[in-house]
Structure formats: C-alpha cells, structure tokens
C-alpha cells in the first residue's frame, strides 16, 4: 500500500511516499481503508522530533513509528475473527497514536481502540480531524469544569482546537470570547463567540473583564500573563506543555485558588476517549458542532500539507485525501 514515511526527524522534505506492506487485522482488530487522514500541529512536532523529551516516546534518534498521521476516517474492509462490534462496510473514524500511522491507504485498529462510527451527516474529510480538535477541546473544557453561564476565553479560536472549543463552550451555555486575527473574526463569531478580540490589536491579558476559564488553545500566553484576568477560582488551560507550565501547575496545585492545567489527550485511557467520541458523534449528528475545514491535499502531497500546517495559521483543520 502507499504510505507517507518519515525515517528521520526534520523539515517536511523528510516525508516520502513509499510502498509498504498492507497491514493484516489480528483477531481483535479491524482493517480500515482510509479515505481521509489528519495533518496536525502535533504531527508536525512528531516529524521534527520536538520537543526533545517527546523522543522518549517517539524514538531517540529517528522516528520509531515511521508512517505519519494519527486521525483517520474510512471504511472497514476486513475483520479479525473475534471482532463483534463492527462489520465490513461500516464507516468509521478514530485515531492511531504510537503505532501504525494514518497517512496511508490502510490502518488496523483494535475494535476496542480509539474508533467509532462516523457521524452520518459529515464527510470523511470532516471526520478525520475530530480526534485532534474536537476531542482535545472537549477534554480540556471538561478538565476546566466549564459550566453554564460562566465566561470562557478561547485564545487561538480559529485553530483546530480553538474552533471546536468555541462551538462546544457555546453549546455548554458559557459566554464565549474568541481571540483570533481580524480575517477570522466573522466566522469565529458565527461559531458561537459572543465577543471576538483581534490579538493584533487587543491584549486580552490587559482587559478589565475577568474569565472563569481561559483556554489558550495555541499555547501563546502563559499562566502568569493570564492570571490577572482570571476570576478568583479561575482555571487556565493549555494543550502545549512547557517547563513554565509544569512549574505553574505544581505550584498552583498547592498555593492559590487560580489553577493551571494541561492534559495529553491522546494518552488518556481508551474507554474515556471512546466515551468522548460517542458524545461528539451525537453532537455532530445534532449539528451542534462541525469540523471547520481549511485545505485538503492528496496523500502524495503530505509534505506540502505539513509545510502549510507548520506556518501556524491554518483555519480549523487540514487533511490528506487517500
């Protein structure tokens, strides 16, 4: 089968289209014919082998799992003999982390792994990035214990995580402020942000307004910068781990009522991820949330897709079509 292979860490040029052996489903696995696969910021970091501590999991000198891509959407083509939850032809989506990559024609996934039926009303391209933006945003809003009527600020509201977080927070009944550049302001408001701030003109950390939850979905502002505009019991959330954030999390778990939190969504227990995927499937089918789509590339142009995503200005999600 065709797959995008990364044999050494580096710039997008390290990605190569190659023929590799098609995987075979083991007894408890399903073989998925992939139609669309994610290209995410996290996958760019995996390609670069950064941050360095990540190499403990990804391979010290070169990638341990050479096929790139984590999110997928496709159709089940074959079943292991013990599989009971899925049938051939089922349309599914999910994630494969630390194993077979999804920028390929096929992937095998354990039937009790991170896999779910695709929402009926969305395309494969829209389903493939759900495990990046929507799943992570849901996880973080749950960690922040966002409640109806609370004020939440989402920094990076035009990104994959941010655009999902705006929609989910609005659905949960929070008053949403989205922070993005001017060119994205109108559609971020349409997603459910009551207020939209242009980060090139307004520094939200200097406002008088206080927020119960600040989700810095792009990791651009630190807890120290944000704590001034958090309410007394306010929570700062960031999906981007740094030494500073680690320090703030430890310190704030002991002292002070304002908290700083991080979570690595992809490594949460699989039953928890599956239950969140089910919740998201319901929300997609009820048209409460949608995947904001920026660009799609043919699989062969995965390096081009990485180049674009690396710039840090995509709108929502980018996928490769297989």
Ligand X SMILES: NC(=O)c1ccc[n+]([C@@H]2O[C@H](COP(=O)([O-])OP(=O)(O)OC[C@H]3O[C@@H](n4cnc5c(N)ncnc54)[C@H](OP(=O)(O)O)[C@@H]3O)[C@@H](O)[C@H]2O)c1
Q: Is 99 helix (H, G, I), strand (E, B) or coil?
A: coil
Task: Please say whether the beta carbons of 71 and 93 come within 8 A.
Answer: yes
Binding string, residues 225-244; x marks residues near ligand X by CB under 6 A: --------------xx----
- 54 near ligand X (CB under 6 A): no
Angle at CA of residue 289, ends 283 and 294, nearest 5°: 140
State yes or no: residue 71 binds ligand X (CB under 6 A): no
Are 184 and 206 in contact, with CB atoms under 8 Å apart? no
The CB-of-50 to ligand X minimum distance in angstroms stands at 10
Q: How many residues bind ligand X (CB under 6 A)?
A: 32
Using CB under 6 A, which of the segments 110-118, 141-149, 222-230, 263-271 binds ligand X? Answer: 263-271
Asked if residue 103 binds ligand X (CB under 6 A), the reply is no
Is residue 244 within 8 Å of residue 252, measured between CB atoms?
Answer: no
| 98 Rama class: left (phi>0) / alpha (psi -120 to 50) / beta | left
> Which residue's CB atom is positioned nearest to ligand X?
159
d(CA 139, CA 7): 32
For tokens 């089968």, the residue is: 1
Question: How far apart are CB 161 and ligand X at their closest, in Å?
Answer: 4
What are the CA-CA distances from residue 94 to residues 76, 129, 250 (Å)?
12, 9, 32
C-beta of 7 vs 313, nearer to ligand X: 313
Query: Which residues are within 8 A (CB) of 61 and not within 5 positions of it... i.e. 6 or more apart?
Result: 55
65, 171, 172, 199: residue in contact with ligand X (rule CB under 6 A): 199
Q: Which of 34, 42, 97, 230 binds ligand X (CB under 6 A)?
A: 42
Joined together, the tokens standing for residue 71 give 């999110």
- Of 150 and 217, the one with the shorter C-beta distance to ligand X is 217
Q: What is residue 18's three-state secondary structure? A: strand
Cα 264 to chain centroid distance, Å, stands at 10
**Is residue 41 a contact residue for ligand X (CB under 6 A)?**
yes
Tell whether residue 217 is a contact of ligand X (CB under 6 A): yes
Residues composing the chain: 322
Q: What is the CA radius of gyration of the chain?
A: 19
Q: Which stretch binds ligand X (CB under 6 A): 23-31, 61-69, 168-176, 218-226?
A: 218-226
| CB neighbour class for 142 (10 Å; exposed up to 12, middle 13-18, buried from 19) | middle
x/- track of binding to ligand X for residues 150-189 (CB under 6 A): -----xx-xxxxx----------------xxx--x-----
The answer to the question of residue 246 lying near ligand X (CB under 6 A) is no
Q: Using CB under 6 A, which of 38, 68, 167, 265 touches ligand X?
A: 265
Contact positions toward ligand X, by CB under 6 A?
Answer: 40-42, 45, 132, 136, 155-156, 158-162, 179-181, 184, 199, 217-220, 239-240, 263-266, 312-315
């Amino acid at each position: 089968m065709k797959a995008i292979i990364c044999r050494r860490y580096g710039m997008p040029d390290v990605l190569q289209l190659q023929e590799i052996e098609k995987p075979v489903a083991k007894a408890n696995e399903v073989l998925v014919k992939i139609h669309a696969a994610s290209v995410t910021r996290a996958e760019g970091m995996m390609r670069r082998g950064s941050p360095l501590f990540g190499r403990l999991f990804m391979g010290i000198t070169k990638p341990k799992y050479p096929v790139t891509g984590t999110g997928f959407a496709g159709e089940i083509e074959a079943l292991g003999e013990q599989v009971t939850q899925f049938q051939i032809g089922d349309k599914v989506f999910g994630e494969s982390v630390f194993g077979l990559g999804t920028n390929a024609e096929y992937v095998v996934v354990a039937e009790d792994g991170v896999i779910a039926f695709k929402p009926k009303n969305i395309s494969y391209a829209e389903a493939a990035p759900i495990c990046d933006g929507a799943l992570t945003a849901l996880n973080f809003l749950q960690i922040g214990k966002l409640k109806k009527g609370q004020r939440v600020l989402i920094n990076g509201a035009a990104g994959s995580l941010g655009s999902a977080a705006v929609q989910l927070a609005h659905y949960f009944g929070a008053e949403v402020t989205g922070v993005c550049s001017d060119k994205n302001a109108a559609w971020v408001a349409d997603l459910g942000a009551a207020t939209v701030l242009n980060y090139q003109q307004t520094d939200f950390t200097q406002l008088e307004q206080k927020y119960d939850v600040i989700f810095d979905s792009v990791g651009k502002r630190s807890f120290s910068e944000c704590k001034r505009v958090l309410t007394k019991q306010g929570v700062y959330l960031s999906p981007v781990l740094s030494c500073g954030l680690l320090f703030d999390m430890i310190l704030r778990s002991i002292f002070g009522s304002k908290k700083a939190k991080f979570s690595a969504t992809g490594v949460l227990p699989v039953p928890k991820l599956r239950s969140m995927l089910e919740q998201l499937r319901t929300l997609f089918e009820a048209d409460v949330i949608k995947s904001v789509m920026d660009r799609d590339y043919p699989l062969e142009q995965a390096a081009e897709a990485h180049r674009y995503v690396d710039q840090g200005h995509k709108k929502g999600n980018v996928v490769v079509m297989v």
